[in-house]
Amino acid sequence: MGLELLWELQEKDLAIRALEEELENTPLLEETKALREEVRRLQDEHRGAEERFKEEKRQLRALEMDIQKKTGERDALRRKLYGGEVSNLKELEQMEKKLNLLIREVDQLEEAAIEKMESLEKMEQELAVQAEQVSGQEEHLQEMERRLEALQAELRERLEALQEEREQFAGRLEPQYLERYRILSQKHQGRGVARVVDDICEGCRVFISSKLKGQLYNPKAMVYCENCGRLLIRQG
């Protein structure tokens, strides 16, 4: 009975290990991590675009203030030039040159402002597209995280049940069997117990000797494969 329980204990341990690996390496976990990184990247890009948009708006306001200032200077100089206040020819020529310069400056500033407004309009449209993309990916991430949380909860529940069953099996085994099982399990990567099927050790796929076959019928005998050293259990 004890040796059969060792086989069952090994099956439980292998199932526990498989569940632990699934819990640690489930594809959904990696997909969620990848999407989380993608969402973070999109959020960073969107914040950067928003900052550039704000900077462009500040530059437009500065241009508009310059236009207002230069326009005021231009209009004031024009009134002075054509209002009859100045009669000195040389001074009039200087005023006319300055007026022409102000007119060109205002024209250039207005062109720059128009270009800036067009750029802002395009940036605003791009920001809206980005915001929609970020929102969509955030919702996708939330849904994936909910699925992952549900899957992990299910796996943990199954793992706890298996661990409880494993302890029950271990409690029914004699200490010397458990100690041998532990040593063999470490040596053979969790598969220290092997069944004998059609006179073949399932651990190493090698035929066992007639002597060992006879020993397998002793329920208390601990029989080891002559080739791989695993503890052998007779099928049935």
Residues 211 and 156 grouped into a single domain: no
- Structurally, how many domains does the chain consist of? 2
Low-confidence residues in the chain, pLDDT < 70: 1-2, 236
Dist CA 205 CA 207 (whole Å):
7
Residues 117 and 157 grouped into a single domain: yes
Beta bridge partners, 206, equal: 201
pLDDT of residue 5: 86
pLDDT of residue 236: 61
DSSP letter for 194, please: E
Find the CATH number of the domain harbouring 96. Answer: 1.10.287.1490
Kindly state the tokens that stand for 53: 């948009």
Residues 58 and 134 grouped into a single domain: yes
pLDDT of residue 15: 96
Q: Which of 157, 172, 187 is the last residue of a domain?
A: 172
11 and 185 in contact (C-beta within 8 Å)?
no
3-state secondary structure of 70: helix
Q: Which of 128, 156, 172 is the last residue of a domain?
A: 172
Residues 166 and 183 grouped into a single domain: no
- The domain of 197 spans 176-234
Dist CA 54 CA 32 (whole Å):
33
> What crossing angle do the helices spanning 2-25 and 27-82 adopt, rounded to 10°?
10
pLDDT of residue 2: 62
pLDDT in tens, 111-132: 999 999 999 999 999 999 999 9
pLDDT of residue 187: 95
Q: Which of 120, 137, 172 is the last residue of a domain?
A: 172
